Structure 1
Amino acid sequence: MKIHFDKLYKDERKNELLGIGVPFPKGELTLKEYERLAVIDSGKIIPSQIKITSTWEDGSIRFIYVRFLGTLPGNAAKDFVLVTTSDMIDNSNVFADGIDNNLVTRTNTAISVSNGVFNFRVADFQNGPFQELSYEGHVFTRNQFIGPVLKMDGYVFSPIFELWQIVENGPIFTIIEASGHFEDNNQRLSGEGIKFTLRLSITCDKPWIEAAVRIFNCTLDTIEPDELTFEIRNTGKDKVIPRTTVGISNFKTKFETSDEGEEVSKTITAELLEREANEHFAEVFYGTFLADVSDFGDGVGICATVFQAQQNYPKAISASSDGIKISLLPDKNRLMDISNSYSVRFESGMAREQRFLLHFHDAGEDLYELNNRSIIYQMPDTGYVDPEIFEQAGVFPEIFLPQKEQIDDVEIALIDKADSHARCYGILNWGDAPDPGYTSQGRGGGNLVWTNNEYDYPHAMYMMYARTGIRRMFDYANVACWHWMDVDICHYNTDPLFVNGQWEHQKRHSGNSEPGRGTRGIMACSHEWVEGLLDHYHFTGDERALETAIGIGRNVLALLDTPAYQVPGEIGARETGWALRSLTALYIETHDKKWLEKADWIVGQFEEWNDKYGNWLSAYTDNTTIRVGFMISVAVGSLMRYYRVDGSERVKQLIMKAIDDIVDNCRTPNGLFYYKELPSLARNGNNTLLLESMAIAYEITKEDRYLDYGLKTFYKQISSQSGISFTKRIVEDTVMVGNGPTKNFAQSFLPLTLFYVKAVQANKLLQ
């Protein structure tokens, strides 16, 4: 299996840490064969670390995540090969010589890490991250690494690191994570206070550590931090005067340097971003943001790079002879003097992670090399496998076509639709976009209404990436998932019906908190998805995505047990329809029958609902029950996923009855589907979800007429204008670039692509 890396940087990257998620068809790769996998470069086995992220119900491998150390050439593409046939593997050489299989060792209360370049130790129930750290003979003491430190309402809240755990360990890469809280001796904080995690990622033989600080507002109130910082203090400044540097880039990196150890600093504000021209797709790359002190003693320096700092503004960095200060949230009082957008409000239950790289180096290291690593950190090399691999694996629906059968105009339109959405900078907004329709309708009471990944935007993007290999689709999905897991999930609430659930689209992502009561936003089964999170786990290896998806599933189960969902037909088709989709996906992922048992219950409700009204009609005015075609299509799409697992005739008949009802009653005379079944609402519809229903009907019956019903809608959607805009404006707490909600692509991709594939197979579309 070929793993392809496109040309990217002009210099060679030697033994670069690379990673990729790879799917396998049911029954192809057993556990025994998995143990003999290897990555090959020019006929030689290179160091790799492979973990299983998903299995099929028969126990065979469904997805693996592969990390490996590969050398990439300058200004050229490169292919590696994942070997999956055991007769090509020599077990004695699965890992290169010199790779230690134990980067991490654990005692009762401490973890020690040694990666061949530096050594450090962390311990439970301490007030700092490192007990000690040594690099190239220089020892950093525990009081040199300070943070994360939170300042709020004029008070300083220091961190208490409670428990460290080993998240992932192997011969080339390890992750350890601490959970903790900010000390509140004077009990100024309500609820359970403010919690945090610190995640450290380490690669064998590399002189850098990635640190990720994630804070959780577990109070009952909205909080507005004054500052959130991490510092590396220089205790060797009396022995040597270091060079101090900060750098910020958009196109070329602009450095500010002092050879006398004077303080240099940079701050990113909304106004700076609004004024600065930038032509990149910012999910892939905007620029970099670094601070360097060349010598902390013994000729050892540290360069700190904040990941996607511009996108997650406000940010600040400074370097001086006293050390490096990373302001993940800059001093609010100072920001007030230079910016009108200085406040960051965390609603109750919100979380947010920010990442930075600590690059240890020799004092004489050239700035070019430090900047080079900083930029690579912002935009790492990313590989992909051929779309045929995903098609053969059967892990996604039928969204693939051989290249010779693809229609250029359709493929171009799908790419344009994927690119056409607003990018919204800001620490709590990056990875999401508001819906202008919802906002103008007043659903946010005059505020922006954020989509909160409505219709599962990451799932659509990961499928688009799988079928095209276009790098930015992967980055679009990742950025959205990072936001989703933090901001769009309720991490704390006194009401268990909110905990771990995904907020419905609303202002400030979760609605405002009520002082002393926590957040009381909207939580509904019709707006809780999991497939994109499961994809994120498979494509990145980040186990937190799986944990988040399972948490959402538990929230859905709890909501389905409330009285509102007990009477068939009293809730719209999409409510339990989306729930069925999420529960089915969780069953496929985990094989836990509790998900399927509740899915069976939902199917039974659909049957009762159909018997009650003759079809799936929804209450609208006090005296009407109407057909809502796109909501019925949500239920049809979810039932089809269930049918592929269950395979029962009764489910197939239920699906076809609903689709035939749409065909008979939900179309306009000119061949389009209408919006809703009332004279006041029967306007031309533009919802693509009905195309998914037509594609499903064709899949089940092989009758061309179902494709004919959808052709007008398909052509209308494909020919609709999509455009990329770089117009910027400051709105509330975001710098918004371009227009359009992410939900447009989330809603349309799968219906359009399923219909497209079926229509090509049936010779219904003109080349």
Structure 2
Amino acid sequence: MKRTIILLIFSLGIISSLAHAGQAVIRLEEPVGLDRTGWPVGLGFPFAKGELKDLTSLVALAPDSRPLPLQAKILSRWPDGSIRWAHVLFLADMKRQAVAEWRLEWNTGAKPPAVPDQNRVRVDEKSGKIAVTNGDLAVAFSMGGANLIDSVKVKGREALDPSRKNGLMIKTPDGKTFEAPSGKTVRLTVEESGPLRAIVRTEGQHLAPSGEALFDYYARFIFYAGEPWFEVEYSFTNGEAAESTAIAALTLALPLAPSRAPYLGLTSEYKIDKYYEFREPFSIYSGADDFFGVFGGAKIFKADGTEIVGPGYESEARARWWADSSTSEGGLTVSIQEMSQNYPKAVRVAPDRVDIDLYPAGEKKPLAFHQGWQKTHTMLLYFHGGSGLDAGSRDLCFKWQAAVIPWSPYHVESGLLGDLFPYSPKKYPMIERAIRDGFIHYETGVGRGLIDYGDTMGPGTGERGSFTQNNAYDTSWVCYLLFLRTGERRYWQRGRSAALHTADIDIVHHSTRTPVEVGGVRIHGPNHVQYNAEAIVGTSVAPNHEWVEGLIMTYHLTGEERYLKLAEGMAEHILRARQAGWISPGYNAKWNGARNLAWPILVLTMVYDETGNARYREGAAAIVRDLGSIQRENGSFPITIGPYIASAPLHETIAMEALGRYQAVTRDPAAKDIYMKCAEYVVGGASFPDGEMMYITHPDYRSGYTSTPWGGFHFGYVYTGDKKFLEFPYPLIMRQLRQSRFELYRTSFATSEGALSYPMRGILFYLNFADKAGILQDLPAY
């Protein structure tokens, strides 16, 4: 009897320990038409409070249920210490064009197998040097060397020429040359070390022989288990005193080890199955007239500058953004991520070297790089034995350029992303079609070029004709939400490019005008920079045009810590901006209103929710009190046009979204009270008799405002159960969806400010509540 009781207690213990077991399906699609073996795949996953205590409970399973080696890291925790977000990396074997399902499981008692010794990544760090080994590949770095990479060996053979310098070189129009590294000590760290992936980071400044410095930089070297190639992410920041600095050329120089064997230069087409072989130097070049997308590629030039041309229209000779220099002993293959989209770019290939031109010499004019900008490039380096043909360089580059993008329905189905409208092509096919069509219209307005890529451009006429939009209303966040609903890779690609543009160009990384703006997002303006906007003199940011969710989501899904740091930097900027008087009344300009407080509330709330830093919650609470202090008796917030005190329903709805989301995180009852007064006003008296909302209630501004952030209305329904908060915006939202053009001021979709993100940041949540309340109907077929 005693033995039975003990066994029963033991069994109940096992059952209890597995009671919270869970799993997430991970769908992988091979997108380029080539088999992949051991291909690195990574994605961030959320977990409910208390569900996952440590990473050892995670296991990844292949489609045949075989457990796989796994590398995971914690991204954030719940207040009780349990894991809230974790990034998971595993290696996948995939058949060409196949779609299959992997699984992530937790708390099942299963454990992932170890990485085979011959494939695992090893990092050795000592005495200012770091060595990374990975199968046949061995790469060394040094804090005090004159080279970016000390040594690369493939099966023991040195691939770089130790007698010549490798590294980065910037040339300015006045003839100066700045190199990185320059022989002086740089900061060298191991950012990540695991059996499947290791990341080495070096950072410093580009220096001239005189000691003059230009631009801070960092370079991250990313190695994967069993892969003979690695990635280089290079980023430079303009922290100079001048408003803009001119760049004549920017190159990563890679001199190759000497060889007496015959040289073969190599690149290839993508649209047709064709190699281009060279016995002399050649280059590939992407410029403003380059193609990109499915049939994209760079122009090809011989050593004498003659372009290799195809037979005619749609048959042009184009290199698929890769090039190789090798002999029978070995060589180097390189590729630039999104080379054409980030033009101008070039790769120059010779028997003894490969030069990657991130800004080629000889452009029509130097690159004007504004103070506070940053720019990040990612490149593939594949040092190999034998020729590029023997090493499979073409297939590797095709696969690397077309990333495998993992998707899981778990993110939405778990409810851990909030009340996001689930993908409903069977129940609401026309609504889903309208959302997709709206995204396609948005894509046509995405800019190209080293500075513009990832942003949308102004319409070309009027006061804002030259404006770039700086991803207003958080384009990356909206694109990620669309991706997580559907798994469509184009949504992911646009989200990533928008997030990178925000991180590089839109955020102020340095300022000599005012330290308050550092960390903030610049307001839309000509060439991404507008000073004195919203009457805040001497700055290029405006707190009523700053958003943070896309940065946080990028961190959650990719595990790249840079984006979390940028989000925290934005929160710090908002705190400084409030102290400087940029946010709360009295305003810098009389026409500012509730959105001047609302968007900053949301920034601080989201970063507090991510980090638990009480300073951000306290800052948000203070701004909420400021908002309540100016609320009028009718529930609106004042906006002054001349001597006329009006209200702006646009601003009211922004405040509704911010208050609702702040209250959901903090449970502050004051926010709910302010919200309800405002929502009653908007529903009851902020529209024309036909139901369309006014822009501003001033007699000369009573025009219709087609797009309004709809993310705040459902909180009124949640608080009260009254469907009027859903019924009021319903006809306006459905009209927008029916048009598939989420317009502002009735301008063209592709170029109007925040035309995708402005309404969709709210519609994607509103539709979920409208469906649950029974008022949502599909659009008519079109």
Per the alignment, in what secondary structure is the counterpart of residue 53 of structure 1?
strand
Residue 211 of structure 1 corresponds to: 232
1:540 and 2:558 aligned: yes
Deviation at residue 458 of structure 1 after TM alignment: 0.8
TM-score by length of 1: 0.88
Letter of the aligned partner of 2:414 in structure 1? Answer: Q
* 1:160-175 equivalence runs, <5 A: 160=181, 162-175=186-199
Q: Find the partner of 2:351 among 301, 308, 321.
A: 321
Q: Could you tell me how far apart the structure 2 residues matched to 1:614 and 1:393 are?
A: 35
1:307 and 2:337 aligned: yes
User: Which stretch of the first structure deviates more once superposed, 705-714 or 654-663?
Assistant: 705-714
Per the alignment, in what secondary structure is the counterpart of residue 694 of structure 2?
coil
Q: Could you tell me how far apart the structure 1 residues matched to 2:377 and 2:425 are?
A: 44
Q: Could you tell me how far apart the structure 1 residues matched to 2:247 and 2:472 are?
A: 29
Residues 469 and 753, structure 2, Cα contact 8 Å, conserved in 1: yes
Distance 1:521 1:61, change over 3 A: same
Deviation at residue 361 of structure 1 after TM alignment: 2.1
Give ranges in structure 1 of 5+ residues lacking alignment. 337-341, 514-518, 724-736
Residues 568 and 605, structure 1, Cα contact 8 Å, conserved in 2: no
Residue 575 of structure 1 corresponds to: 596
Deviation at residue 367 of structure 1 after TM alignment: 7.0
* 1:176-325 equivalence runs, <5 A: 176-186=200-210, 193-221=214-242, 222-237=244-259, 239-247=260-268, 249=270, 251-252=271-272, 255-258=275-278, 260=279, 262-270=280-288, 272-273=289-290, 276=291, 288-295=320-327, 299-325=329-355
Residues 246 and 319, structure 1, Cα contact 8 Å, conserved in 2: no
Higher relative contact order, structure no. (Cα contacts within 8 Å, ≥ 6 residues apart): 1
* 1:25-424 equivalence runs, <5 A: 25-31=48-54, 34-41=55-62, 42-87=64-109, 89-90=110-111, 94-98=113-117, 103-139=122-158, 140-144=160-164, 146-153=166-173, 154-160=175-181, 162-186=186-210, 193-221=214-242, 222-237=244-259, 239-247=260-268, 249=270, 251-252=271-272, 255-258=275-278, 260=279, 262-270=280-288, 272-273=289-290, 276=291, 288-295=320-327, 299-332=329-362, 335-336=363-364, 342-366=365-389, 369-386=392-409, 388-394=410-416, 396-401=417-422, 403=424, 406-421=427-442, 422-424=445-447
Residue 761 of structure 2 corresponds to: 750
Deviation at residue 512 of structure 1 after TM alignment: 8.0
Distance 1:628 1:745, change over 3 A: same
Residue 505 of structure 1 corresponds to: 524
Letter of the aligned partner of 2:191 in structure 1? Answer: V
Deviation at residue 619 of structure 1 after TM alignment: 3.1
Q: Could you tell me how far apart the structure 1 residues matched to 2:74 and 2:601 are?
A: 26
Letter of the aligned partner of 1:615 in structure 2? Answer: G
Deviation at residue 688 of structure 1 after TM alignment: 3.0
Distance 1:507 1:618, change over 3 A: same
Deviation at residue 304 of structure 1 after TM alignment: 0.6
Letter of the aligned partner of 2:43 in structure 1? Answer: I
Residues 284 and 319, structure 2, Cα contact 8 Å, conserved in 1: no
Per the alignment, in what secondary structure is the counterpart of residue 744 of structure 1?
coil
* 1:642-661 equivalence runs, <5 A: 642-661=662-681
* 1:700-719 equivalence runs, <5 A: 700-719=719-738
Letter of the aligned partner of 1:130 in structure 2? Answer: I
Distance 1:142 1:498, change over 3 A: farther
Residues 143 and 187, structure 2, Cα contact 8 Å, conserved in 1: yes
Distance 1:475 1:367, change over 3 A: farther
Residues 288 and 306, structure 1, Cα contact 8 Å, conserved in 2: no
Q: Could you tell me how far apart the structure 1 residues matched to 2:777 and 2:572 are?
A: 46
Letter of the aligned partner of 2:515 in structure 1? Answer: P
Give ranges in structure 2 of 5+ residues lacking alignment. 1-23, 298-317, 743-747
Residue 647 of structure 2 corresponds to: 627
Residues 326 and 351, structure 2, Cα contact 8 Å, conserved in 1: no
Distance 1:752 1:579, change over 3 A: same
Deviation at residue 722 of structure 1 after TM alignment: 4.2
Deviation at residue 248 of structure 1 after TM alignment: 5.7
Per the alignment, in what secondary structure is the counterpart of residue 606 of structure 1?
helix
1:640 and 2:672 aligned: no
Residues 243 and 293, structure 1, Cα contact 8 Å, conserved in 2: yes
Residues 10 and 75, structure 1, Cα contact 8 Å, conserved in 2: yes
Q: Could you tell me how far apart the structure 2 residues matched to 1:362 and 1:101 are?
A: 20
Residue 714 of structure 2 corresponds to: 695
Residues 568 and 608, structure 1, Cα contact 8 Å, conserved in 2: no
Residue deviations 1:189-227, cap 9 Å, x none? 6xxx31111111111121111112211111122122111
Distance 1:367 1:738, change over 3 A: farther
1:477 and 2:482 aligned: no
Per the alignment, in what secondary structure is the counterpart of residue 698 of structure 1?
helix
Q: Could you tell me how far apart the structure 1 residues matched to 2:248 and 2:467 are?
A: 26
Residue 578 of structure 2 corresponds to: 560
Residue 23 of structure 1 corresponds to: 46
User: Which stretch of the first structure deviates more once superposed, 667-676 or 587-596?
Assistant: 667-676
Distance 1:508 1:367, change over 3 A: farther
Q: Find the partner of 2:617 among 596, 599, 602.
A: 596
Residue deviations 1:302-327, cap 9 Å, x none? 11111111000001112121221111
Deviation at residue 393 of structure 1 after TM alignment: 4.2
Question: How many pairs were matched up?
Answer: 714
Q: Could you tell me how far apart the structure 2 residues matched to 1:389 and 1:212 are?
A: 28
Per the alignment, in what secondary structure is the counterpart of residue 21 of structure 1?
strand
User: Which stretch of the first structure deviates more once superposed, 616-625 or 204-213?
Assistant: 616-625
Deviation at residue 182 of structure 1 after TM alignment: 1.1
Residues 605 and 616, structure 2, Cα contact 8 Å, conserved in 1: yes
Distance 1:520 1:198, change over 3 A: farther
Distance 1:102 1:288, change over 3 A: closer
Q: Find the partner of 1:5 among 11, 28, 44.
A: 28
1:461 and 2:473 aligned: no
Residue 728 of structure 1 corresponds to: none
Distance 1:80 1:137, change over 3 A: same
Residue deviations 1:510-543, cap 9 Å, x none? 2489xxxxx9542121122211101001111111
Deviation at residue 185 of structure 1 after TM alignment: 4.7
Residue deviations 1:139-177, cap 9 Å, x none? 134445622111112121111361111111111101111
Letter of the aligned partner of 1:293 in structure 2? Answer: S
Distance 1:538 1:142, change over 3 A: farther
Q: Could you tell me how far apart the structure 2 residues matched to 1:257 and 1:742 are?
A: 47
Q: Could you tell me how far apart the structure 1 residues matched to 2:706 and 2:390 are?
A: 53
Residues 54 and 589, structure 1, Cα contact 8 Å, conserved in 2: yes
Deviation at residue 405 of structure 1 after TM alignment: 7.2
Deviation at residue 738 of structure 1 after TM alignment: 10
Distance 1:317 1:564, change over 3 A: closer
Residues 503 and 509, structure 1, Cα contact 8 Å, conserved in 2: yes
TM-score by length of 2: 0.86
Per the alignment, in what secondary structure is the counterpart of residue 716 of structure 1?
helix
Identical aligned residues as a percent: 22
Residue deviations 1:323-353, cap 9 Å, x none? 2111111013xx33xxxxx442100111101
Q: Could you tell me how far apart the structure 1 residues matched to 2:121 and 2:227 are?
A: 15
Q: Could you tell me how far apart the structure 2 residues matched to 1:277 and 1:172 are?
A: 32
Per the alignment, in what secondary structure is the counterpart of residue 294 of structure 1?
strand
Letter of the aligned partner of 2:492 in structure 1? Answer: F
Q: Could you tell me how far apart the structure 2 residues matched to 1:576 and 1:455 are?
A: 15
1:550 and 2:572 aligned: no
Letter of the aligned partner of 1:432 in structure 2? Answer: D
Deviation at residue 740 of structure 1 after TM alignment: 2.5
Residues 248 and 288, structure 1, Cα contact 8 Å, conserved in 2: yes
